[in-house]
Amino acid sequence: MTPGDIGDRLRSLPPGTAVALKLDPREYADQYFAVLSAALRDVGSDASTHTIYVAVTSPASFVWSLAQALDVSSDRISFVDAISHLMMRFADPLPNATYVESPRALESIMLRVEYLLRRSKSPRSTVIIDSVNSLAVHNPPELLSEFLHILLNNLKSRQVLTLVLQTTEEQAASVEQLLNLVVDETIDVARLGP
């Protein structure tokens, strides 16, 4: 599995597609970096594309350091950070980030994503949600289901490519069932390559 394989697959998708990207927890770091590289450098490399990264697992500052290593321009990425307050890593906020107090604040996350979409002057947008498993830890299934239905359908209607990261853990079967109801396609990152 290479970032290029994932990037090719993501670039072939029509606008307005919602995709679940399944990551193996045993190889999470490598697969996460491959997905991030594909999403930010390959898919988001077009100057007309703006990426909104919803940080639920990794703080925006960490993701931004990876994005800088991939030579992603700060004007092509924004963050909705819902984890830094909880992790007490809010000392040095990023100028291209908006902060939400908790992953439980689903309505605030939706409103911030909407705000950043409206503010962006780019004709194309990508939204990355990391990760649905973390959202499931903090929210009851009914509330998470409603959130994903509303958010993903809104993004689809606006022709936004949406990438939802998930881990393939045994206890995550309910998360996978929930995602299958709202995504158009699932990509098992572990099966994309050698």
Nearest CA to 56 among 79, 29, 28, 33? 79
Q: Domain range spanning residue 108? A: 3-164+175-191
Region 17-31: mean pLDDT is 92
Q: Domain for residue 66, yes or no?
A: yes
pLDDT digits (tens, 9 = 90+) for 159-174: 999 999 998 876 567 8
Region 8-34: mean pLDDT is 91
Question: Which residue would you say has higher pLDDT here, 1 or 115?
Answer: 115
Question: Which residue would you say has higher pLDDT here, 73 or 172?
Answer: 73
- The whole-model pTM stands at 0.92
What is the number of other CB atoms lying within 10 angstroms of the CB of residue 85? 16
At 28, which helix (H) or strand (E)?
A: helix 28-37
The pLDDT score that the predictor gives to residue 193 is: 54
Q: Domain for residue 37, yes or no?
A: yes
Q: Domain for residue 170, yes or no?
A: no
Domain total for the chain?
A: 1
Nearest CA to 129 among 110, 101, 107? 110
Region 105-122: mean pLDDT is 95
Q: Domain for residue 30, yes or no?
A: yes
Q: Domain for residue 130, yes or no?
A: yes
Residue appearing with tokens 């970032």? 3
**Which residues lie closer than 8 Å to 96 by C-beta, 6 or more apart?**
64, 74, 75, 77, 78, 79
Q: What is the CATH number of the domain that holds 102?
A: 3.40.50.300
Lowest mean pLDDT among 30-34, 46-50, 98-102, 154-158: 46-50
Q: Domain for residue 100, yes or no?
A: yes
**Which residues lie closer than 8 Å to 75 by C-beta, 6 or more apart?**
96
The pLDDT score that the predictor gives to residue 122 is: 87
Q: Domain for residue 169, yes or no?
A: no
Q: Domain for residue 44, yes or no?
A: yes
The pLDDT score that the predictor gives to residue 98 is: 94
Average pLDDT, the chain: 88
Instruction: Determine the Cα–Cα distance for residues 69 and 92; give it in Å rounded to an integer.
Output: 19
Check if the beta carbon of residue 86 is closer than 8 Å to that of residue 134: no
User: Does residue 3 have a pLDDT over 90?
Assistant: no
